[in-house]
Structure 1
Amino acid sequence: MYIVIYRFKVKQNLDQDFIKSWKGLTDLIYKYEGSLGSRLHKEKLNYYIAYAQWPSKTVFENSGGKLPIEAIKYRDSMRLACEEIEVSNKLEVVEDLLMDKIHAEK
């Protein structure tokens, strides 16, 4: 598995516009480009971190050409809502211990 971590500095009062655009674009990337989805985290006021998961580095590097035209709307809207967008890390997964359910106490 391959992970790409993004950091966003969102303009004042544009958090909801950013989140809506991020969700729309992420959904299209999942549907059309083969990603495994993404999680968005709030770091602090106006700063967000997104963790995008891909089946492999190759799938990630070959992505982008299959998106429908509506992806441009989401991408442009997301960029307009941000002061900064950066890729902070690209990582290969070594071990994965994330769980899909909560472990019940006995």
Structure 2
Amino acid sequence: MTKLLAFLLIILLTTTTLSLPANAADIANGVKIFDIHCAGCHINGGNIIRRGKNLHQKALKKYGMDSIEAITSIVTNGKSNMSAYKDRLTEQEIQDVAAYVLTQAETNWK
């Protein structure tokens, strides 16, 4: 999903009468967090350190990282070459960036 589509989705959700939980992911915030903390290694969903372990849907499924829970866990705690962000990001920010990653993976980072 492009940044514009993510923005439009947020506008749609915030202007309807839908009641979202207080911890609902904020994709626009996820974009900002990704650009600051993740894009250095994961530009366009890739991985400059371990190419096969990228953020594209096929790889996320292969490695069991295709859910909010799995992505928030690895962002929070890190694993192998992936740094932990629990001391740098709030739980909500981690949820936001995880939602953004899943959204982008669904559209092949376009």
* TM-score in same-fold range (> 0.5): no
Greater per-residue helix proportion: 2
Larger Rg: 1
TM-score by length of 1: 0.30
After TM superposition, the score normalised by the length of structure 2 is 0.29
More strand by share: 1
